[in-house]
A = this chain, B = another copy of it.
Amino acid sequence: MNQDPPDQADTLTVAAIAELVNGTVRGDGSVPIREVAPLHQALSDEIGVLFDRRYLKHLEKSRAGAVLLSSEFSDSVDPEMNCVIVDDARLALGTLVARLHPPEPAPAGVHPTAVIGRGVALGEEVFVGPYVVLEDGATVGDRTRLHAHVVVGREVAIGSDTVIHPHVVLYRSVVLGDRVVLHSGVRIGVDGFGYTSTPAGIEKIPHVGCCTIGDDVEIGANTCIDRGTIGVTSVGAGTKLDNLVQLGHNVDVGPNCLMAAQVGIGGSTQIGARTTWGGQSGAIDHMVVPEGVTVAGKAAITHDVEPGDVVAGFPARKLKDFRRAMAGLYRLDGLRKKVRKVEKAVAELQARAS
């Protein structure tokens, strides 16, 4: 399970890295570095990175050939260790990664196995991979890439510079903006979970609405977004959804939100801009979640919250109330003992008084 030996051409010295990121060398600047890696994983031909207090614990055991670090941590690093010291190692990391991993040339062209329906309109320099299916009337903007096995339903409209990874399915009439990234297995425009119970059983409500995804949205693998029953399910510009997220029918997510993995949002819930959702959290249907709200992992919103609130638990309450409640919960035994003691003392006092 070993990977190929490093390509010498891709090696930089510690000194060359310092020059690249406008940093200072401490120790041996001639050490060759092949790759950048987390401190606890970096090997002798790799440079580790330190920009967060949480990584200090990995310093001692690190086998890194050098460390790229924010100056605030320079006293924490063994003086024997080869270092590149910068103001902000997080920013320097971006520069170094871009140098070590230049973007690959984008593929273009339509693979001969792609199935293209009637009235499909492809922009310039579009890539359509093997076994892609584009149904009738779909449109694809310039430089957009549809990777292997993607299925694009009838009348779907896809913007420019969008990347759709293998095995994504877009149901009919879905609208995607520009610079959208959809990871493998994303399903958009699925019929929502809408039924009416009748004496004869459960009857399906037809889903004739649609689904629009704004510019610069990224959606993680195997995430599912239902279409509107009537009207629209929408995701605002700049919002990022992680893997395995669920958005119900007619959900409206505002711009620049972050939803971690396995979040689930019930039908018709409206979510304001810049909200943040921890893993496995959610909201029931028909909620209105105002802008700037932060929802802790595993929490679920079931009642109104205020703009900017930080909430946790189920049903979700303000984080500080949740923390106090949890602390109290695990001290209940103590409270119960105190009450027992008081009861006994009161009984004695009563006996004495009578």
Binding site for B on A (CB under 8 A): 1, 3, 35-38, 40-42, 49, 54, 90, 93-94, 97-98, 100-101, 111, 113, 115, 129-131, 133, 147-149, 151, 157, 159, 165-167, 169, 171, 173, 175, 177, 181, 183-185, 187, 190-191, 193, 195-196, 201-202, 204-206, 208-210, 212, 214, 216, 218, 220-222, 224, 226, 228, 230-232, 238, 240, 242-244, 246, 248, 250, 256, 258, 260-262, 264, 266, 268, 270, 278-280, 282, 284, 286, 297-298, 300, 302, 313-315, 317, 321, 324-326, 328-330, 332-333, 335-336, 338-339, 342-343, 345-346, 349-350, 352-353
Q: List 15 A-B contacts (CB under 8 A).
A: A3-B173, A101-B208, A113-B113, A133-B149, A149-B151, A151-B166, A167-B169, A195-B240, A195-B258, A220-B224, A244-B264, A279-B284, A282-B298, A335-B339, A345-B346
A300 touches B329 (CB 8 A): no
**Alpha-carbon gap, A131 to B132, bound state (A):** 9
Q: Which chain B residues lie closer than 8 Å to A36 at the CB level?
A: 230
Q: Which of B181, B244, B258 is A244 in contact with, Cβ under 8 Å?
A: B244
A38 touches B314 (CB 8 A): no
A184 touches B183 (CB 8 A): no
A244 touches B242 (CB 8 A): no
Copies in the complex: 3
Distance (whole angstroms) from the CB of A137 to the closest CB of chain B = 10
Q: Which of B1, B40, B261, B342 is A159 in contact with, Cβ under 8 Å?
A: B1
Residue on B nearest A281 in the bound complex, by CB: B280
